[in-house]
Structures are given as structure tokens and as C-alpha cells.
Structure 1
Amino acid sequence: MAFWFATIVFFGTYILIASEKVHKTTAALIGSSLMLLFILQGPHHEAEQHADPVPAVIEQSMESTGGAPTFDRQTAEEGVTPAATELRQKSGRYDKLDSYARYVNFDVIFTLAGMMVLVNVLSGTGIFQYIAIWCAKKAKGSPIRTMILLVFATAVLSAFLDNVTTVLLVAPVTLLVASELSVSAIPFLMAETMASNIGGTATLIGDPPNLIIGSVAGLDFAAFLVNLAPFILVILVVYCIILKLYYGKRMHVTLEQRARIMELDEKAAITDPVNMWRGGIVILLTIFGFLIHGAVGLQPCVVAMAGAAVALAICKVNVDQALEKIEWSTLFFFMGLFVLVCGAEQAGLMRACGKLLQFTDGWNPLVIVLAVMWISGIAAAVTNNVSFTAAMVSIIAAFLAETPAFASVELQHLMWWGLALAVCLGGNGTLVGAAANLVTVNIANKAGNHVTFNDFLRFGVPVSLCSLVAASGYITIRYFLYC
């Protein structure tokens, strides 16, 4: 009975999220509340010592794997995850935690919150508007060169900032530039949206799905940077070449229109130079902290929150306003998803879904990874890459634990890299595939540049499909070189 109830709640919540009939945060919180009420055990439940409040079947083995995640197949076959086994040995360490604290991955939540505070401090200085205007002037008013520079700027910013925040900062200036050039803003906005999702794939903190994957798989910032960033840079270069070939002869402006762009003063966009330098130094130090956090044994959330605390302390900002601008809706959406997925896992749904992959028994590991990638890429586009990833990581973790073909750490990592590429790049496919897509379209519609669901498909599907083909090639090369 619990299994079927959890299944109905889980898939019903995802349908609500995908349909957009109910706000995604509301849907996630309703689903999580039902799981807490009827499936998950509370802090005073008589059987709580046998519960598994951690939705992951991963055991960190620092001595044997150098920090890489390994999976204990014996405990998985017995229905007890390594995480649960470890918890049982800690004499009730989690006994007094409230229900939400038992089931939410607060490493992800506080990493996002810390970076949001940092961005809020910097956004008030005008630095992001400066970058956008500088790109337009550096292109000397050429529409296609302006587009390419804005795409690169958006991708780089998205690698270190939240995607939604990046498009919120870049899109308004893009509208201004397009207006001065008397060209449609839609190609610019769509190109930047795709770039934000592509660039965000490069790092642990660039796209929320990566944070979820990194947290479950035990992969740190440096691992994402080394394994994904070079490939993403290649994708970005190819993407810009395609943009130039497609739009190069479709955008024409007069000398007068170019002159208006050159008259814009990027320095005037800087409203608070003191805080700009202070905040800039703090965010650079925070990024450095992410680079070394695995080596020094710090969690990403500690690095992010420390950076946020320092920024609030040394920058002359209104703390209340900086905290009010945190995207609380996004954070509560994540919390609801974590509880929802944990309830589905405890009811046995994730284990059942993992068994669906058993049809791949006897397949070459590379073929399995590629199949998972394409299924995940399409599913992430149809639903939402964050929602899908929150569920898929548990399924993949269970599958890896029970599949002898993935006994080696290298093959486990190959699966995680394939999943990260698939869900992040697949998010470009549809309007609902990634949060940045919805934000950009809302900004465009409010400015009178109407973009429909079908309009977005014409932009997103080719980019997403080509990216997934390239990602498949990259994973194939990695398999033959390293595995």
C-alpha cells in the first residue's frame, strides 16, 4: 500500500510541476508534505533507528579510493544502504533531528543560498551591466559579434553563478542593446539562454543538477572543472560558430545604429565601485575555495556561506535587502524535491525503477551509459532538469550498486559525467527544461518580444540534440581512453 501511495504522490507531483498548472514550489511542497505525513518516519517514530534518511546508496571510502564513491553490493542486495548502515553505528546521532532536516540535502541548499547572497551583493554594483555594455562596444556595434560576445560572457558567468541569476542580469541589458541596434532581441535572448545552460554544465555550482549529482556521487568542484569544462569550452566555440553562420547574414544595421551603441558609457553602469572591488575579491576567493574544498575537507556549502558572510561583512549593503533577494522559491522547491524523492526511495519506488534498467544486463557499459544519457536528456527536457535529476540520481546510485559491470570507479564516474552532461544540455530542449528558459521567456514577453512554446522548440531542440550527440562522442572517447 505504501509503495503505490508513494508512486501516485511522486508521479502526480511531477505531472503538476511539468504542467505548470500549479507553481512548481507549491507542487513540490504538497508532495513532500504527503510523503512526510504517510510514508517517511518522523523523529520520534518507534522504528526510526531502522530508517534510512539519506536518499543515496553511496559509501565514501577515502582510504581505498582516494575519495571516490564506491557502492557496497552486499548491503544493497539486502535492502540496506551503506548510508543507513553507517547511521546505525552512530548511536542515534540523527534521533533529535526534525523531519525536514532528516531528509533534505542541506549541502545543496546552503551552497545555493550562499551564492545567491554573493550575487545579490555584486548585482547592486552594476558590474554585470558593465560587462554586457562592454561586450557590445567591443563588437563595435556589429549584431553578430555582439551576440557572440554576450553568449561567451553569459556562459562564463553561468559557470560560477546561478543560471537564473545570470539571465536576470544579462537579459535587460540585451534588450537595451537590441533596441539601440533596431534588431529583434529574441535571437539574442535565446542564444544567451542556451549559453547559460551550456556554461553552467562546466562546474559543480554552475547548474543545480550538477550540485545534486556532485553531492550524491562525492564529486568535488575540481573534478567537474577538469572533466567537463574543457569539453564544454569546445561545445561553446562550436555553438558560436554556428550562430555566426546562421545569423551573420540575417542581421544588418546602419552606421548610425552602430554609433548609438558606441555612445553608451559602460563606466556609468558602475554605481558602487568600492563594493564592486570588495565583492569581486570575495567571489574570487570563494571560487578558489571551491577549487580546493575537496583537498582540505570542506563541504561546498561551507565555502559558499563563508563567502556570503564575508561579503555581507565588508561590503556596505543593506543586509535585510540582500537576504530578501534570495530566491526563496527555488530553495523551497529543492527542499520539497529532496523530501519527495526520499519518500519515494523509502517506499521502494526508486529501487523498482532501478530494476527497470536490468534489461541492459550483459550490455557493454558504454552502451548502457549512452542509453541512460539519451533517456535522461529527453526526460530532462520534457519535465525539468532539476526535478528529473533529483529523482534520477537515486535510481542511478542503486543501479551502480547492483550492477557488476560498473565495479570500477572509472566506470561509475563515466556514468555520473554522462548524466551531468545529459540533464544540463538536455535542459535546452524545451521551455520547461530549465528554470533559466522560463525566466528569459518571461522577460522577453514583458518587453513585447513574445516567445511561444513552439518558438522555443525551434531554438532549443537543434541545440540540445547537437549537444547530446557531441556529449555522446566525448563519453565514448573517455571510455576507450580511460576505461
Structure 2
Amino acid sequence: METLWFWVGTIVFVGTYVLIASEKVHKTVAALLGASLMMFFILPGPSHSGEGHESRENVVTEQAVSDVETAEQAKMTESPADSQPSALQKVEDAISHADGNMAEKAGRYDKLDTFARYSNFDVVFTLAGMMLLVNLLSGTGLFQYVAIKCAKLAKGLPIRTMILLVFATAVLSAFLDNVTTILLVAPVTLLVANELGVPPIPFLMAETMASNIGGTATLIGDPPNLIIGSVAQLDFAAFLINLAPFIVVVMILYSICLWVYYSKRMKVTVEKRALIMELDENAAITDRHNLRRGGIVMLLTIIGFLVHGAVGLQPCVVAMAGAALALALCKVDVDHALEKIEWSTLFFFMALFILVCGAEQCGLMAKIDNVLQLMGGWSVLTIVLVIMWGSALAAAVMNNVSFTAAMVTVVASFIAATPAFRDSVECQHLLWWGLALSVCLGGNASLVGAAANLVTVGIAEKNGYKVSFSQFLVYGVPVTLGSMVLASIYIIVRYYLYCQG
């Protein structure tokens, strides 16, 4: 029966990922179908008496027995002078309290529905809260203002405009999310490119790459980072300190490459530049009242992310508190604001988490972990670099969010089973940072590698500019290879600074 359920779970898992990658069915529909099959056949729920339920009961029982044995030993080793009834009562009360707490937790878990058991709602609610905040700010015209201001600061010169838009996109992606940033910046980019009389596709592609690179810098910038941070217990400040400085270097080098390649390929007339200078960025601001209030709330939310680890709050609490405060302060239609949440993305995440839990329950993840264990005798640096480049390739083929949802479980298990990583926090972090860099940067390689890529191509096609899969590779592969080489150098330097020996 174990073999049967292993193959059922494996077929469902692999089949769902193939369906997502094929794009024959909407990714959310494919993920929900896979999750439903996992809940039907593999995952134990409240009404099941599966292994999960039994194992939890065993844990509670074993812990209770252990506590009682410990107490009995304590009684036997006490001297008559020390054996006071009050001290003994304290020991027994402590045992009873611990046993009761564990039983209560197990009881609460058994009452949870299947979605609540296996979905990572920290990630889901963090995304939902940030979506609400960004949608409120987007209605004020802030992002259109930023794009027009960049074009005017560049004085209408195409390459300068591109560089400024690329940096603006990267910064916005670090604190919003890359899909939302592209949705806000791309339409204005099309307007600017048309005014200048230059092809918009290079601008859109450069911004897409920048959104994926910039999103790597923070916990909330790219969905894979949220998943990694949740599993590895890495907070916003950790991502900002360990990845943001490196990403700034990558963005500078990327901008230099853009300048060298495009500076002589884009020329505009003085008249075209004059049209750009006539644009009024202030006219883009349509709601100054909500801009001030929403901006203050966004600033407070970012501060909340910076300190959430120190004060013991989960990211979802910070994001949802910020969204609730923004809805309370900004005079908006709440129903309309909630409608603009990307519900398909949230359900996609919930389904992916269930799908991965099903793969873990049936034993597929253990098989994959056994393959990774073949590297157990290798050096730490070699293992991290191999996982990085393999993950970058897989993210480009499978979509970085889908791949990360599955890979974090494997990596966590590998760390627990490998002494070189288990016994060194620095080596664990090295592997997690390497994974974060590889899946985010690897998403630039192909059209399906990251959600922002698909959004950009969709916007371009709606405006009459088609980008094929092969054309995207021409833009994405060189950027991915260059950024992955830089990421590997960073990981090597970090290893020799913190992990060697």
C-alpha cells in the first residue's frame, strides 16, 4: 500500500507541475486540481485516522511517559532533607502542565481543516496585505509620477531614461512585489517609448529583468523569498542585510551593460525629447489625500518588517495590520479594494503548499532528499554551488515560485541530515541565501521563469508588440548567466569569510 500511495502522490505531483509548465491550463486551476487530488488520496484530514494523527498521539504519549520517568528519577535521587512536599508538587505540576499543553495543541491541530493544516498562511496573508496596500497607492497616481519623473530627469535621452526606469523598477520591486511593479510601470513605459519614437520592447525587457533582480533584495520583494524566509525563519532585516548590498552591485553592473549595448542603438530627435519634457508629472497624482495617508502607512509597514523578527511578529501580521490601517484611514470603497487583490495568485500559493505536503506525505520528497544525500561527502561550498545552478535551471523551466515551494522542503531535510550544515548556522544560511539568489535570478532566463515575465509579455501583446518564447530567451539568458556568475562569486567570498573550517 505504501508503494501504491507513493506512485499516486508522485503522479499527481509531477503531473500538476507539467500541467503548470505547459500553460495549457491556467496555473491556478492546475494547482487546485493537484491539491484536490492530494487531499482526496494522500493527505490525512480531520475525518481521517491517518498516520499523521497516530504519530501526533504517539508523540504526546511518549513525551508524557518521558516526563513521568524523569520525575520518578528526580524523586529517587532526592535526599530526605531536600524532599519537601512543595518542591515535589512543583515537579508534578510542571509535568501535568506540559502534558496538558501538548495534548491541547494536538487536539487543536486535529480540528483544523485540511487547507489550514497544509497551507502556509504566513506567506498567503503577507501577499494579500501587500496587495491591498499597493492597490491603494496605485490609485493615487504615485507610480505614474515616478515613471514620468524618471523620463524628465533623463532629459528625454533614451538610454538615460531606460537606466532610471530600470533602477526605479528595481527599488519598487524590493518593497512591493515584482508583478505589481510591472503592472504599474509597464503602461507608462509604453507611453514614454511612444513619445520618444523608440521600440518599447527593450525598455520592457530591461524593466522585467530589473524587477526580478530587485525583488531578490528583500523578504517581500519576490514570492520565492517569502517561502524561503518562512521555512528558514529568516526575517526581513536578514534579507536586507545579506542580499540587498549584493543586489545593488548587480544592478549597477547590469545598468553599465545596458548603457554599453543600447547607448548607440537608440537615437531621438530634439523635438521628441521636447515632448517628454512637456509631460506634467504632477498631473499624474490624482488623489493627494490618500497619497499622504497611504504613504505614511506604507512607511510604517516597512518599519514593521524591519523589526518584526526582533519583536516576535510574523510578516503576515505586519502586512495585514498595514492593510487594515490603510483601509481605515484612506477613504476608499473597501469592497472595490478587496476585488483588486490577485486572488488567483493567492489560491495558487495555497494549492502549491498542499501539493508539496502531499509529495512529502507520500514519500517523494524523501526520495529526492536521498539523491541530495549523495553529495553528503562533498565540501560545503561545492554542495551550495551545485544546488544553486541546478535550482536556477529548474526555476527557469518550472517557474521559480512552483520550484521553490517544493525545493525548500528538500533543502530543510538535507540540512537536518547533513552534519556539515546541521552543526553550522553559517553554512545553513549560506545554502538558504544561495537558494534565494538562484531561484529569483534564474527566473529571468525564460518566459515562464517568473510571473513578472508573463505579465510583461501580456501587456506588450495587448499593445501590439509580440514577444515569443525564443525572443525572451535572447534577453533573459545572458542576464541570468551574468547574474548567476556574480551570485556564485558572492557565495564563494561569503563562504571563505564566514563558513570555512
Q: 1:9 is matched with which residue: 12, 28, 39?
A: 12
CA distance in 2, matches of 1:284, 1:104: 29
Paired amino acid for 2:495: Y
Counterpart residue number, 1:290:
305
1:241 pairs with 2:256: yes
Residue type at the aligned position of 1:42: G
1:445 and 2:461 correspond: yes
Give the Cα–Cα distance (whole angstroms) in 1 for the partners of residues 103 and 428 of structure 2. Answer: 26
> What secondary structure sits across from 1:440 in the alignment?
helix
1:373 and 1:359 map into 2 onto residues whose CA distance is 16
| Deviation, structure 1 residue 51 | 5.7
Query: What is the TM-score of this pair, normalised by structure 2?
Result: 0.89
Query: How far apart, in 2, do the equivalents of 1:437 and 1:51 lie?
Result: 43
Separation in 2 of the partners of 1:162 and 1:382? Answer: 21
Conserved in 2, the CA contact under 8 Å of 1:49 and 1:88?
Answer: no
Q: Provide the residue aligned with 1:34 in structure 2.
A: 37
Cα distance in structure 2, aligned partners of 1:182 and 1:337? 43
- How far residue 87 of structure 1 moved from its aligned partner, in angstroms, is 7.1
Q: 2:478 aligns with which of 439, 459, 462?
A: 462
2: CA distance, partners of 1:465 / 1:88: 52
For 1:332 and 1:90, how far apart are their aligned partners in 2? 27
Distance 2:150 2:116 in 1: 44
- Shift of the 88–182 alpha-carbon distance from structure 1 to 2, 3 Å rule, reads farther
User: Deviation at 1:362?
Assistant: 1.5
Q: 1:197 aligns with which of 207, 212, 215?
A: 212
Matches within 5 A, 1:17-96: 17-47=20-50, 48-50=52-54, 90-96=105-111
Listed as ranges, the matches of 1:162-177 within 5 Å are 162-177=177-192
Q: Residue 92 of structure 1 aligns to a residue in which SS?
A: helix
- Equivalent position of 1:341 in the other structure: 356
Q: Is 1:432 the counterpart of 2:448 in the alignment?
A: yes
In 2, Cα distance between equivalents of 1:347 and 1:89 = 27
Of residues 435, 438, 448 in structure 2, which corresponds to 1:419? Answer: 435
More helix by share: 2
Are 1:127 and 2:130 counterparts? no
Find the counterpart in structure 1 of residue 81 from structure 2.
none
Equivalences for residues 31-430 of structure 1 within 5 A: 31-47=34-50, 48-50=52-54, 90-406=105-421, 407-430=423-446
Q: 1:87 to 1:414 in 2, by over 3 A?
A: farther
Whole-Å Cα distance in 2 between the matches of residues 388 and 424 of structure 1? 11
Return the offset for 1:89. 7.8
| 1: CA distance, partners of 2:292 / 2:54 | 51
**Structure 1: where are the runs of 5+ without partners?**
53-85
Q: How many residues align?
A: 450
Matched-pair contact (CA < 8 Å) for 1:365–1:411: yes
Q: Percent identity among equivalent residues?
A: 73
Q: CA RMSD in A?
A: 1.1
AA of the residue aligned to 1:191: A
Separation in 2 of the partners of 1:361 and 1:220? Answer: 28
Question: What do the CA deviations read for 1:97-121 (whole angstroms, capped 9, x no partner)?
Answer: 1111110000000000000000010
Q: What stretches of structure 2 of length at least 5 have no aligned partner?
A: 57-100
What is the distance in 2 between the residues matched to 1:92 and 1:363? 43
Whether the aligned pair in 2 keeps the contact of 1:214 and 1:220 (CA below 8 Å) is: yes
State the shift of 1:46 in Å.
Answer: 2.2
**Deviation for aligned residue 1:176:** 0.2
Distance 1:323 1:458 in 2: 38
Alignment-derived partner of residue 76 in structure 1: none
Report the equivalent of 1:474.
490
- Give the ranges of 4+ consecutive aligned residues of structure 1 lying more than 2 Å apart after TM superposition: 46-52, 86-91
The residue type equivalent to 1:476 in the other structure is I
Higher Cα radius of gyration: 2
Query: Does the 8 Å CA contact 1:87/1:93 hold for their aligned counterparts?
Result: no
Deviation at 1:137, TM superposition (A): 0.2
> How far did 1:295 drift?
0.3
